[in-house]
Amino acid sequence: MSDETRVAYPVCDSHIHFYDNNFPTWSQSRLSHRTTTLADYGPVQAINGASRFVIVQPSTYGFDNRVLVNALRAANGAARGVAVVSADASSVELERLRKAGVVGLRANLTLGPHNLDDLSNLARRAMVFGFHLQLNITGRQLIDHIEQIEALPVPVVIDHCAYLCREPSLAASVFNTLQRFLAIKERWLKLSGPYVASLDAKNNYADLLPYVTRLVERFPQQLVYGSDWPHVTESSQPGERHLFNIQRSWFGGDGTAQMILSLNPARLYGFDEEFSTNRSGEFCGDKEHA
């Protein structure tokens, strides 16, 4: 979003990750990245105009949320967090995360460390702390387990367009299942990571376009935008401005764009609520996951 087109409302980037090579990676991690900081994210903010952002715990660190918490502290209230915890995470750990700015728990079913059996317990823990549950799941998993997902007793957010066109033969079924999912109150979809949801990057993810356009028309109040910076799944980095322009083109007119870029994430992540990060203690040295 150039200076000439910068909008008056606060834009939210609802899906970014931070990395710190001073911290150990999860033993089963398949993705890693150099250390990234708020300064590194600055050029992306200059393009998408995001004054608010949501930091999502990547699979790289498993259940160790220290990098996430440190990034929330550095953001000084401009960010919210989505953590990854074990299905039997203690109330002490979850309260610590809540005070740091975490508003959701992520169940990562594509890169670990969770499985479908963890969803019920994670949802119960999320409900106690007022968190939503974010799912990183494939289209096939969504189709096969929609009844289980529908029954979760908390708001549910699905990442990366549910990998809608990753298996072309399933795209229509994934789309129909997403419509069923979004027909339920407090169900959300992130319009993020088109390169993992599509097999048509050379044509600006044209295979996604008819499906996303119809979702925007029908469910504009349940969609949020995410850049998925720093794009660790990609061996060749997408151009940030090009990627944002493609995603912005999905959002329709100014009113719908304001919903997806600002109003919806403000509601989902509580950006317009009174909030301050808890800076007491030194989380960096705490390895408890009791």
Residues written for the chain = 290
**Residue 285 maps to a domain:** no
**Residue 278 maps to a domain:** no
**Residue 250 maps to a domain:** yes
For residue 33, pLDDT over 90 is answered with no
User: What CATH number did the domain enclosing 216 receive?
Assistant: 3.20.20.140
Mean pLDDT of 98-115: 91
CA distance 72 to 88: 23
Paired tokens of 198:
């599509």
The H helix count followed by the E strand count for the chain is 12, 8
For residue 59, pLDDT over 80 is answered with yes
From the CB of residue 32, how many other CB atoms can be counted at a distance below 10 Å? 14
pLDDT for 27 equals 56
pTM: 0.90
Q: What separation in angstroms does the CA of 216 have from each of 29, 96, 197? A: 34, 36, 16
Q: What separation in angstroms does the CA of 175 have from each of 34, 100, 249? A: 35, 36, 19
CA distance 28 to 214: 37
CA distance 25 to 166: 27
Residue 113 banded pLDDT, cuts 50, 70, 90? confident
The Cα angle at residue 93 between residues 87 and 96, in degrees rounded to 5: 140
Q: Print the domain residue range for 72.
A: 3-272
Q: Pick the more confident residue, 28 or 70.
A: 70
**Residue 287 maps to a domain:** no
For residue 265, pLDDT over 80 is answered with yes
Helices 91-100 and 66-75, axial angle in degrees (round to 10): 30
pLDDT for 276 equals 42
pLDDT in tens, 60-75: 999 999 999 999 999 9
**Residue 36 maps to a domain:** yes
Sign of CA dihedral 91, 141, 17, 62: positive
**Residue 279 maps to a domain:** no
CA distance 242 to 47: 10
pLDDT in tens, 206-252: 999 999 999 999 999 999 999 999 998 887 889 999 999 999 999 99
**Residue 281 maps to a domain:** no
Number of structural domains the chain divides into: 1
**Residue 9 maps to a domain:** yes
